[in-house]
Amino acid sequence: MSRIKRGVTTHAKHKRILDQAKGYYGRRKNTIRIARQAVEKAGQYAYRDRKVNKRNFRALWIQRINAAVRAEGLTYSQFMHGVKLAGIELDRKVMADLAMNEGATFSAIIAQAKAALPSAA
């Protein structure tokens, strides 16, 4: 029985790792042992930061809505409470976009939210 040589498989595995490490600095891009560690760590960062990215965008939307709403004399929390009471079902992403680009439309939403709030005694 002839012996099996695994060079093809190993080279393919190594090539896949080194392709993923393309653009890295120093031996991280061309030494398989170090490149494998770098690619694994990069994957961990990428996985974590996909979640962090969602948090960052939500925070940005809230800041934009808050800035637009404060110009009309409300706070963010009062506005969101009014939006819920008024039955407006827009998410924060859309509201932030309206606040940035469609000021008149967003002012109408703020007016609806104000009207839905119970008047302060």
Judge whether residue 28 has pLDDT over 90: yes
For the segment 92-121, the average pLDDT, to the nearest whole number, is 90
What range does the domain containing 39 cover? 6-116
CATH number of the domain residue 74 falls in: 1.10.1900.20
Q: What is the mean pLDDT of the chain?
A: 93
b (16+ CB within 10 A) / e for 77-116: eebbbbbeebeeeeebeebbebbeeeeeebeebbeebbee
The tokens for 52 are 């962090």
| Gap between the Cα atoms of 48 and 31, Å rounded | 26
Per-residue confidence band for 120, with pLDDT thresholds at 50, 70 and 90: low
Judge whether residue 82 has pLDDT over 50: yes
For the segment 82-104, the average pLDDT, to the nearest whole number, is 94
The answer to whether the predicted template modeling score (pTM) of the entire model surpasses 0.85 is no
Please report, as a single letter, which amino acid is at residue 64.
R
Residue 121's pLDDT is 41
Total domain count, the chain: 1
121 belongs to a structural domain: no
Do 117 and 78 touch, CB atoms closer than 8 A? yes
Residue 53's φ and ψ, nearest 5 degrees, are: -60, -40
